[in-house]
Structure 1
Amino acid sequence: MIVAQVFLILLTIGFLAPVVWALLSAFKPANDIIRAPLSFDPTTFTLDNYTAMFEDVPIGSGFVNTGIVLLVKGTITLFCAPLAAYAFAKYDFRGKNLIFGAVLVTLMLPTIVLIIPLLLEMKQLGWVNTYQALILPGAVDAFAIFWMRQVIAAVPDELLDAARVDGCGEFGIFWRVVLPVIRPGIAGLAVLTLMNIYNDFVWPVVIASSDARATLQVVLSTLAQNITGNRIGADYATVTGELLAASSVALIPLLVLFIALQRHFINGILAGSVKG
């Protein structure tokens, strides 16, 4: 037991050390980050990296675009995926297993394979550099449906039959009976969905080529170019300091989200592990 605890502590330190270093280094003078990367002198504490970063990088618009995509795309996923999963888990219809198998097959397709077809489709629809293109593709993905099917399959059929006897409609059964029972699973899916959308980079960098629709991850990927383009004579230390500042700011929403929903996330993981 002691050996296991020591191992977990060392593993935790190994995972947290780079994050702590990045957070502390963002408050160091830019030259000190390069000159003495592993040291931290509280007397040299400064906000210059953050001030310069907000002047050089359009991180605010990145947050706004990411927030819009998170809100709309997350809502679509959390509403439609449980409905589809409910049909697969509790209804018998012709071709159900075939359709569900086809849904699962899409999990094995790498994202890069779908980039060109999706881009051509968005071009035909005139949706390049629009919120529609950022939101709709992948709004209801196979993993979300599979996750919720596993959760809903554990709901006793007797609850559904009792609701039908009481005269409840099919959507009413889902909304009033199933939904309250699977709330932990939805909470877990919500955390994973929001994290995936927030960290998504490949599709946004392809479809949102303009700064007006660039999400936070796209803004961060072009951060060095923005800094050197907006500041004449910007050196490696300046770029590094502002990059650490921007990364620290981008990390805050995920930390807050995980800390606030940690209990629901763990319960959702356990709920999603039920075999249906």
Structure 2
Amino acid sequence: MHIGSHIFLLILMVGFLAPVVWALASAFKPANEIIRNPLSFDPTMWTLDNYVAMFQDVPIGHGFFNTAVVLVVKGAITLIFAPLAAFAFAKYEFPGKNLIFGAVLVTLMLPIIVLIIPLLLEMKALGWVNTYQALILPGAVDAFAIFWMRQVISAVPDELLDAARVDGCSEIGIFWRVVVPVIRPGLAGLAVLTIMNIYNDFVWPVVVANSEQMSTLQVVLSTLAQNITGNRIGADYATVTGELLAASSVALIPLLVLFIVLQRHFINGILAGSVKG
């Protein structure tokens, strides 16, 4: 049974990783070879031509820069204000607490497509279309982040907070000096999920940032074929495919590195977030 479970997990791993490995390896192959023999892996034929052509034809640098700005600012807002809201829901009693928290959870059931038009009209009224404000502020403190951190903070013993109050610590001091050090695993897990969600977000950026200057990485990737054929006369299907794979590989590497480096923190955070309040 033990061996069988290992074999099953190995098959799953191969199934999940095979497309990723194929995309990364094929990006180094000559464009015509990708179409002619897609499953071949001959290191002697590998070249950087796809990457060189892709950086010339596609404004992927703008996409990375805009995504980095949104990631840093929006991620910071999420990781600061979501735990603060969760701390209030987990450790304080106030009128309408359960009703407000229930309303927050209800927003988890709303599909993003339902919110796009109202949000877009709001951004237009504020004059924020094609701005960083529109990319960053909507959804910066989302219901899932609050729910996640509430579950984690609920497990912090009340005795720790009472002891800090006896020592004369302020409420905000209790949060930063007592609660935050205890909830670091859950906060790290939330950080990884937040980074992945912001990095992979496509629907909202493609609606609110329709200019090339403000396009995030995922929006740039979605318009790669048009950019390649528009910037290179006579670009054929093989050329477009090679550059698409090169661009996808460049976009994939940061997330792979992030997950490999923070894998332990992510798993600990998942376990911390599973604690019942």
Same fold? TM cut 0.5: yes
Quote how far apart the aligned CAs of 1:40 are.
Answer: 1.3
**Quick one: percent identity of the two aligned structures?**
85
RMSD value, Cα: 0.3
Structure 2 residue 21 is the aligned partner of structure 1 residue 20: yes
In the TM superposition, what whole-angstrom CA distance separates every residue of 1:151-196 from its partner, at most 9, and x where no partner exists? Answer: 0000000000000000000000000000000000000000000000
**Counterpart in the other structure of 2:245:** 244
What letter is aligned with 1:95?
Answer: G
Number of corresponding residues: 276
Taking structure 2 as the reference length, what is the TM-score of the superposition? 0.99
In the TM superposition, what whole-angstrom CA distance separates every residue of 1:216-245 from its partner, at most 9, and x where no partner exists? Answer: 000000000000000000000000000000
What letter is aligned with 2:212?
Answer: D
Quote how far apart the aligned CAs of 1:102 are.
Answer: 0.1
Quote how far apart the aligned CAs of 1:110 are.
Answer: 0.1
**Counterpart in the other structure of 1:185:** 186
Supply the distance in 2 between the matched residues of 1:144 and 1:193 (Cα, whole angstroms). Answer: 8
Supply the distance in 1 between the matched residues of 2:46 and 2:63 (Cα, whole angstroms). Answer: 27
**Counterpart in the other structure of 2:64:** 63
Quote how far apart the aligned CAs of 1:53 are.
Answer: 0.1
Quote how far apart the aligned CAs of 1:42 are.
Answer: 1.1
1:151-166 superposed matches below 5 A: 151-166=152-167
**Counterpart in the other structure of 1:9:** 10
In the TM superposition, what whole-angstrom CA distance separates every residue of 1:6-29 from its partner, at most 9, and x where no partner exists? Answer: 000000000000000000000000
**Over 2 Å off, 4+ runs:** none
Supply the distance in 2 between the matched residues of 1:73 and 1:42 (Cα, whole angstroms). Answer: 41
**Counterpart in the other structure of 1:233:** 234
**Counterpart in the other structure of 1:267:** 268
Supply the distance in 2 between the matched residues of 1:168 and 1:45 (Cα, whole angstroms). Answer: 62
Match of 2:177, SS? helix
**Counterpart in the other structure of 1:120:** 121
Structure 2: give runs of 5+ residues left out of the alignment.
Answer: none
**Counterpart in the other structure of 1:44:** 45
**Counterpart in the other structure of 2:100:** 99
Quote how far apart the aligned CAs of 1:35 are.
Answer: 0.2
Quote how far apart the aligned CAs of 1:60 are.
Answer: 0.4
Structure 2 residue 171 is the aligned partner of structure 1 residue 170: yes
What letter is aligned with 1:132?
Answer: Q
Supply the distance in 2 between the matched residues of 1:257 and 1:35 (Cα, whole angstroms). Answer: 34
Quote how far apart the aligned CAs of 1:127 are.
Answer: 0.1
Supply the distance in 1 between the matched residues of 2:28 and 2:200 (Cα, whole angstroms). Answer: 24
Quote how far apart the aligned CAs of 1:111 are.
Answer: 0.2
What letter is aligned with 1:44?
Answer: M
**Counterpart in the other structure of 1:33:** 34
Structure 2 residue 198 is the aligned partner of structure 1 residue 197: yes
Structure 1: give runs of 5+ residues left out of the alignment.
Answer: none
Supply the distance in 2 between the matched residues of 1:84 and 1:223 (Cα, whole angstroms). Answer: 40
